Amino acid sequence: MSFLLVALLLILSLAACGSNNGNDSSTGTSTGDNSSSDSGNNGKAANDSGSSNAASGKEVVIKFPSYKTGNNVGAIFFLPQIERFNKKFAGKYKIEIEEIVQDEYSKKIKLLYQQKKLPPLIEVDKELADIMINNGDLLDLKPYIDNSPAIKDVLIDDSVKYNTDKNGKIVSLPLAFERPIGMYYNKQLMQKASLTGFSDTWDGFFSDLDKLKAAGVTPLSLMTGENGWTTMLLASAMIASDPEGQQILTKGDIVTNFNSPLWINTFTKVQKLLQDYTTKSALGATYSIAANEFFSENTAAIANGPWMVADFSNTDKAAEGFADNVGATIYPGGVALGSADGYWYSIPTGTPQGEVDGLIEYFKFIYSPEELNAFLVAEGGFAPKMPMPEESKAKLNPIMRQLNDEVGAKMKTLNRLIYDIVPQSVADLFAKNLPLLATNDMTPEQFCKAMTDTAEKFKK
């Protein structure tokens, strides 16, 4: 059975899941009760035990998987924040994290949904969110948010709108912050090519890459393994720089036809990046390999979000003083990536009330002024409805401050990523076919046709 057919069957089976979604009682409470063999009853069993724990005054344990663990850069802030929450609510609520790699997260959540064993807190992609919303499987957060000014007052209006379904239910925690994704460059390596930064146009950008090559410097850290993240970001920025592409990204509808000059021209440029301006290791590289090429000063630049900045000062990953040589910028054309649109934390229906209450406290905690500002200082970005106090600004990493300045001075548009507007099956295929594009075993036209063919199956 082909990969595409398997993916299609998975989507169909997810869509067929009923609305009586239960939760894995073994992940839900401190009792760890997983004795029931009837998965259809898991929700009730968990509900009962979770509620009874809360009612009895026992500590409610809230257990869920997260990819912000291990070597994931998000772990640097996320895990200590969980510890701070657990300390504040000791004896009442305790969050326990199950480690999972980012690439496996969505697949696991979809599988658990199929098995009716979802944990109490999940992050869903658009594809799964649409299915769960249609099935009524996501808890309405609106009553909790309306009763929690600490949350409601900081939320971005567009994010609230995005996360509100046609029935007025808020199905996922809206964002209170935006974190523009840009690029980081090695100032010393750039100086070898007499560059102090990248051009503001794409023609100038490619000219800069040529100058770096001529100076003996490999320009970019790219990757074709995992989800092709750093490569996908540059492709997204190119799409966003085109008026037609920007319209597509702004609209946000799922794209199913890539057989157009916009997409073919973009992937022609991506092919050139992979063939002429990156390391040999990019072929099959995971994120850690691509990042290590930048940390090891083998490449001049890497595209990524502000959450990477902390790693520049991490001597387990980069040499002492490496961060002093790093500059930050956005993409040519005044393009930055990132959007307040998108789904974040959702709570499946059937989650025990005690855990729901604990998660609402967690949402209040992470959106408190202290935690939100600490998050922005650590990972970058800004909260439109909560201006950063001067004492927090003073703590900003110089690289983060430069990125904020670049956003303030140059940013014309903040755009969604390609992955935000394609079916998951197309995103998977994108990464799978990047090596073929790099080795000339697939033309840009064939690359786009393969994505279109896969997307057409998604429509059926």
**What is the per-residue DSSP string for 225-236?**
STT-HHHHHHHH
Mean pLDDT of 307-318: 90
Look at residue 71 and tell me whether its pLDDT is greater than 60: yes
Look at residue 14 and tell me whether its pLDDT is greater than 70: no
Q: Which pLDDT value is given to residue 6?
A: 41
Minimal CA–CA distance to 220: which of 296, 317, 290, 283? Answer: 290
Rounded to whole angstroms, the Cα distance separating 95 from 82 reads: 7
Q: Which pLDDT value is given to residue 63?
A: 97
Answer with the residue of higher pLDDT: 459 or 110: 110
Q: Which pLDDT value is given to residue 21?
A: 34
Mean pLDDT of 412-422: 90
Minimal CA–CA distance to 118: which of 10, 14, 16? Answer: 14
Q: Which pLDDT value is given to residue 301?
A: 98
- pLDDT, tens only, 15-47: 433 333 333 333 333 322 322 333 333 333 344
**3-class state of residue 377 by DSSP:** helix
Q: Which pLDDT value is given to residue 239?
A: 97
Contact by Cβ (8 Å): 86, 358: no
The DSSP 8-state label assigned to residue 332 in this structure reads: G
Minimal CA–CA distance to 293: which of 270, 310, 317? Answer: 317
- 44 C-beta neighbours (distance < 10 Å), count: 17
The DSSP 8-state label assigned to residue 58 in this structure reads: P
What one-character-per-residue DSSP string does 108-123 give? HHHHHHHTT-B-SSEE
Helices (H), 69-201: 75-88, 102-114, 126-134, 142-146, 149-152, 157-162, 187-192
Mean pLDDT of 84-98: 97
Arithmetic mean of pLDDT over the chain: 87
Instruction: Supply φ then ψ for residue 321, to 5 degrees.
Output: 85, 0
- 35 C-beta neighbours (distance < 10 Å), count: 9
Residue 443: which residues within 8 A CB-CB, separation 6 or more? none
Contact by Cβ (8 Å): 81, 112: no
Element (H, E) at 346: strand 345-346
Contact by Cβ (8 Å): 413, 334: yes
Q: Which pLDDT value is given to residue 53?
A: 61
Q: List C-alpha distances in Å: 176 to 75, 206, 341.
A: 20, 36, 11
Burial 232-243 (b: 16+ CB within 10 A, else e): bbbbbbbbbbbe
| Ramachandran bin of 286, using left for φ above 0, alpha for ψ from -120 to 50, beta for the remaining angles | beta
Rounded to whole angstroms, the Cα distance separating 136 from 163 reads: 14
- 28 C-beta neighbours (distance < 10 Å), count: 33
Rounded to whole angstroms, the Cα distance separating 135 from 290 reads: 40
Residue with tokens 């295929």, as numbered in its chain: 429
Contact by Cβ (8 Å): 372, 390: no
Look at residue 52 and tell me whether its pLDDT is greater than 90: no
Contact by Cβ (8 Å): 137, 349: yes
**3-class state of residue 34 by DSSP:** coil
Residue with tokens 């099956």, as numbered in its chain: 425
Look at residue 199 and tell me whether its pLDDT is greater than 90: yes
- pLDDT, tens only, 223-263: 999 899 999 999 999 999 999 999 999 888 889 999 999 99
Residue with tokens 């800069």, as numbered in its chain: 208
Q: Which pLDDT value is given to residue 51?
A: 54
Q: Binning pLDDT at 50, 70 and 90, where does residue 156 land?
A: very high
- pLDDT, tens only, 338-397: 877 789 999 999 999 999 999 999 999 999 999 999 999 888 888 889 888 888 888 888
Beta strands in 231-330 (DSSP E): 299-304, 326-329
Look at residue 8 and tell me whether its pLDDT is greater than 60: no
Q: Which pLDDT value is given to residue 165?
A: 94
